[in-house]
Structure 1
Amino acid sequence: MTISTDLFRQTMSLFPGAVTLVTVGQGDNRRGITATAVCSVTDTPPSLLVCVNRATDTCAEITRLKSFSVQLLDHTSDDIALAFAGAGGLKGAQKFSVGVWEETDRGLPQLTTAVASVCCELSSYSDIGSHRVFIGEIKNSALEVGDALIYARAQFGRAQATV
């Protein structure tokens, strides 16, 4: 017997997660979502796993373009996280009106205030339920000083070292 969707969501809300944006595309074709389902896979080759709802334009564009970028948000960027989660009604490329964006040498969106921004070339993907799990090989990484935004118990917080 499996647990209910409600119990699953309650359980997962207790797991703190780094708040990221998964982004793809150029110009008016840029797409992105807020995601906490992002993690490292291996360092040889350096790879990242991201889970994206298959019903989103972001999923379709990653599948089509075979690349994506991930922005680890700074602890002050909850407004950007909310915009990319759909709050305020922004859709598609409109989401990129929030924050300051550049384009990487690979043509992917890069948030200038991100604590980390990585560009990935799609290695593989698998469909599981409502989501597509993408594995990307990291081709570029840009790092900045700052504390990451985290999400737990339906609230934003700050990941800060205490030792």
Structure 2
Amino acid sequence: MTHYMELLAQNQPWNLILFMAIPVILAETVAITELYILFSRQFHGGVRKINRSASIVGGVYFCGVFVYLMATAVIPLTTSGGWRGAADVIAVGFYLSGIVPLLGLALLDLGLIGKGRTEEGKLKLHATFVAIFLVVAHVAMIFGMLDPSLLMQQVAPAVHDMGNMPGMNH
């Protein structure tokens, strides 16, 4: 099991809630409200307030998750050589890279970045951050569910043994 899945499986249900449910619920709230805003072009109102609040809370919350996991998991695993192969590193790395789009959303909605953009320009940047988050979160989940030993096997010997394949005359 990858460290990503082990983290979610331990201390049930709290780790699942703290490290998966809260960030994902906030990000999905942003994504759903984002679609409404994109299609309706209503840049103000209740849906935009929900969108903005979820963006800010999600970005700030994930900053805490990022700092906590760097200190308690990534640095200790790296210094002790405790990683369980490439799938493990990819899962944790992509999960933590979610800080970039989530913090970007928070900074944008706090007015700290994108100041010179029009409402539509801000919306495009906002939607881009949402898309980036969805990609990195799904890569993390896919590699997190993978058996880490699968990416630890050597592929090279099988490639060099092509002469023994039926129908291959060399």
Bin of the TM-score, shorter chain as denominator length: under 0.3
TM-score, normalised by the number of residues in structure 1? 0.23
TM-score by length of 2: 0.23
Structure with the greater alpha carbon radius of gyration:
2
Query: Comparing both structures, which one devotes a greater share of its residues to strand?
Result: 1
**Higher share in helix:** 2
